[in-house]
A and B are shown apart, each in its own frame.
Chain A
Amino acid sequence: MSDTPAPKSLRAVGNFIDDRFHLAKTGEKNLRKVFPNHWSFMLGEIALYSFIILLLTGVFLTLWFKPSMTEIVYDGSYERLNGVLMSEAYASTLHITFDVRGGLLMRQIHHWAALIFVASMTIHMLRVFFTGAFRKPREINWTIGAIILLLSFVEGLFGYSLPDDLPSGMGVRILQGVILSIPVIGTYVMMFLFGGEFPGEDIIPRLYMLHILLIPGILLALIVAHFMILWHQKHTQYPGTGRTEKKVVGTPMYPAFAVKAGGFFFFTFAVIVGLSAFVQINPIHLFGPFTPTSITSGLQPDWYMGFMEGALRIFPNWFDFNIAGYAVPVAVLVPGLGSLGLLAVALIAWPWIEQWITRDREHHNVADRPRNAPTRTALGVAASVVYGLLWLAGSNDIISETFSINLYLTTWIFRVGVIVGPVVAFIVTKRICLGLQRRDRETLEHGYESGTIEQLPSGEFIEVHKTSSPETVHVLRSKRPVPRIDVEATDEEGVESPEARSVMGRLRNRLAHWYTKDNISFEGVEPHSGHHLHHGHATAGAEQEPANTH
């Protein structure tokens, strides 16, 4: 940035544009937009950057990839498979791998970026969940985010199916099985999608269209919407001095944030390229082309599909039944579609479910500390435990082999774990949250334990407590009283509200009570008012209290 004015010709152009679009004003406003400084706000950025990398490498791949299932005899530079019958899709992927300069690297970047893309969205979403950043006014943006995540699973699955190698074919086969399990319409849907019997000639061209056009288009639109809403509503921020529901504290968009974001983009890029250059991913040349007779162990879907694979593996087949000669494979239907369906509904609807339970209609711009919303945090941890166990169960053969555990035993461990695990996780997490709340209250009232032991004239030993910094006090005091829902509430005349008498109303009251009942009240707690506070000689807190000992 220079102080000398720009050349006249440039100024003229600038003025011309500005006269028409008034960009300077909006531009300046946007450049001064403030971003809070916390690393957890950068998780979503990783997803954005890896998406950009996916788009760029994906376009590169389309230049050579042939989405065709026409059988050809391979004749190329990969000698081992010369003379082998394979689909054009597989042959063109071999071509990209071995004959296109940088092609293998591009394929590996595309695939690693896909793994990182979904992983970063997952942790980004966990951050938003545990800090309550999905609450009003950001529910819509949460929902958009959830749809982006779910669509990305599908996008990744379809991309994985394109090269028509062994794992591709196995994945498509499972997809076909799951579709077939849908009662009544399953067969029709499958015939429609595959254009006939499995595998047919149509499935790859169709998945290709979905993978490179339709789904990326929708994703792009949703991502843009996501950012525009974010821009408009601004980030939430963690509690701290000067940060309020009305005021955001942080770094201005330009230059500091832009430099930081630019650097971060390059780092993300470097990690993905580094992985792609040194760590082999999806070696389709080793897998070989898919043929309908192939079956193999030791192959899994990409990680983000792992939870569905796990659900399929551990769900027992005790509930399968026949109606009038038609089999209803519950053991495929429930885990195959149910696991994804449940995740989708739970994710998309969560802000509204929570709002409905707590009747919280306020605007929230300051993030919750997870411990201050114990039930939500515990629910989140419980759900993560179920997800994690299903995910692990998807690799039970590898676990069984690596750790020499009986395969059936792992299945049972996961079956029990998926039921017991979340309950234990819920209880433990909630206890921990309440414990932390209690400690916060301690710290607020009594200052923090300095670790200095003093001997009083009486001979008694005490630990010196020091006053916390104003920042800490502010953070601790950010805990707002949780409105307790009084289940037995009546109006002035002693009459129950009509809502409380309906079934739904009673359910809602119960839920509200359960959701808010466990909480350590900070009401009436004054900082450093506790009788345990022992000042060291050199302490100078902002809210210094008279020293008192006992």
Chain B
Amino acid sequence: MKWITARRRHPLAGYVVVILALAFVGVGYAFVAPSADRAQAQTVAADAPDVDLREGRQIFTESCASCHGPQGAGTETGPDLTNVGAASVDFQVSTGRMPSMNPDAQMPRRPTPFTQEEIDNLAAYVATFGEGPAVPTNVPATAPQRSDFESEEEYEAARETYDAAYEEYIAGGDTEAGMKLYLANCAHCHSWSGAGGALTDGRWAPELHEASPRQLYEAMLTGPGAMPLFNDTTLTPDEKQDLIGYVKDLQAEPNAGGVFALDRIGQVAEGFVGWTVGITLIVACAIWITAKQRAHD
């Protein structure tokens, strides 16, 4: 006991106790931290109502014709839309890429200025130009928004239907097949986590986290911009479902390793934190202990 009594008064003893306590808190936390349940997905479906081609044409003339030409045949500033199909329009407009702000650059994802109904009308109108893939209506689209509904009940009901459809679609896939397909076909551009990545020529593969299952499907079906096309023969609808299920499931998966997941950037972020937080703290402590001790000597 004498030993401890003597040490207890040492100028550093207090800090040692604090540090030990810290270590215990750290260890303890890991044991009590809840293993979070899977996060809920955030998207829901709205089935296409009857289309209104007149409205479609009107929107097209106002917002699109300047670049794509009055009959969608293309101009200097926009490609030919004759055979792109409704799927392409639905993808481009619902992700906010179209109408483009700058025809020379890749468009980022933005909130779309149109309602889903307007997009459906526009897509149906553009589909009349030629032959192209139709919108995959059996795949859940963007979740219904409260603002689109008159009453709370209607919204709740639509939301419930959507959630059920979403769950069914996502869970219907085979994780192993989806993982293999995703890692073989998409991950070299969109990265293993779907966080996206840089491509050549100033282009980039965007992150996939905001895309609805339907937008994922349409992206594969139409190959926007620098992305290759995966039509229904290259990847069958079932394989697409596996793949989409994998992406959405991985996205919803909690980060088991701690509150700071470093945006799933991985090793670069880990190395950065190791140096800026880890080593820096320890060296600061070395400087501080030495200063304390010198003051004591």
Q: Which residues of A contact B (CB under 8 A)?
A: 1-2, 37-40, 42-43, 45-46, 80-81, 83-85, 97-98, 101-102, 104-105, 108, 112, 115-116, 119-120, 123, 166-167, 251, 255-256, 259-260, 262-264, 266-283, 285-288, 291, 293-303, 306, 395, 397-398, 400-401, 404, 406-408
Contact = CB atoms under 8 A, between A and B. Distances in A.
27 contacts: A38-B290, A39-B289, A39-B291, A46-B282, A80-B253, A97-B256, A108-B258, A123-B279, A167-B267, A255-B10, A259-B10, A259-B13, A272-B278, A274-B26, A285-B253, A286-B253, A286-B264, A288-B183, A291-B180, A294-B180, A294-B183, A296-B183, A296-B191, A303-B275, A397-B197, A397-B198, A407-B199
Interface in B11-58: 12-13, 15-16, 19-20, 22-23, 26-27, 29-31
B183 A293 contact: yes
A80 B249 contact: yes
Given A277-B26, A279-B260, A401 B198 contact: yes
Contact of A288 (B13, B179, B204, B281): B179
Contact of B266 (A84, A101, A105, A300): A300
Interface in B173-198: 175-176, 179-180, 183-184, 187-193, 195-198
User: 10 smallest A-B Cβ distances: which pairs?
Assistant: A280-B257, A303-B271, A298-B191, A296-B187, A400-B198, A294-B183, A115-B274, A297-B197, A296-B192, A300-B267
A404 to B, nearest CB: 8
A266 to B, nearest CB: 4
A302 B20 contact: no
A267 B285 contact: yes
Nearest to A97: B256
A298 B197 contact: yes
Given A84-B176, A297-B197, A279 B290 contact: no
Given A2-B2, A105-B27, A296-B188, 6 more contacts: A81-B175, A98-B256, A266-B16, A270-B22, A278-B258, A295-B187
B286 interface: yes
A132 to B, nearest CB: 21
Interface residues of B, number: 77
Contact of B6 (A1, A278, A406): A1
B271 to A, nearest CB: 3
Given A101-B31, A116-B274, A275-B273, A283 B256 contact: yes
Contacts of B261: 280, 283
A119 B275 contact: yes
A274 B30 CA distance: 10
B157 interface: no
Chain A CB within 10 A, most for which of B12, B31, B278, B294? B278
Decide if the interface of chain B is mainly helix, strand, loop or mixed. Answer: helix
A259 B29 CA distance: 28
Contacts of B262: 279-280
A45 B184 CA distance: 45
B101 interface: no
Nearest to B14: A263
Nearest to B287: A39
A266 B270 contact: no
Contacts of B266: 167, 298-300
A306 B270 CA distance: 12
A42 B13 CA distance: 19
A199 to B, nearest CB: 15
Chain A CB within 10 A, most for which of B10, B197, B286? B286
Given A105-B30, A278-B258, A115 B278 contact: yes
Contact of A43 (B16, B286, B289): B286
Interface in B198-253: 198-202, 204-205, 249-250, 253
Contact of B289 (A104, A123, A263): A263
Contacts of B12: 259-260, 263
B290 A37 contact: yes
Given A280-B256, A401-B198, A293 B16 contact: no
Contacts of A83: 175-176
B179 A299 contact: no
B110 interface: no
Nearest to A49: B282
Given A263-B16, A294-B183, A303 B197 contact: no
B202 A406 contact: yes
Contacts of A270: 19-20, 22-23, 26
A39 to B, nearest CB: 4
A271 B201 contact: no
Nearest to A297: B197
Contacts of B278: 112, 115-116, 119, 271-272, 275
Contacts of B189: 297
A105 B26 CA distance: 10
A285 B249 CA distance: 12
A406 B205 CA distance: 13
Given A116-B278, A285-B256, A286-B250, A398 B188 contact: no
A282 B257 CA distance: 8
Nearest to A273: B26
A170 B224 CA distance: 28
Contacts of A85: 176
Contacts of B10: 255, 259
B201 A406 contact: yes
A279 B278 CA distance: 11
Given A119-B274, A401-B204, A259 B255 contact: no
A108 to B, nearest CB: 6
Contact of A277 (B19, B30, B250, B264): B30
B20 A298 contact: no
A266 B19 contact: yes
B268 A300 contact: yes
A275 B277 contact: yes
Nearest to B189: A297
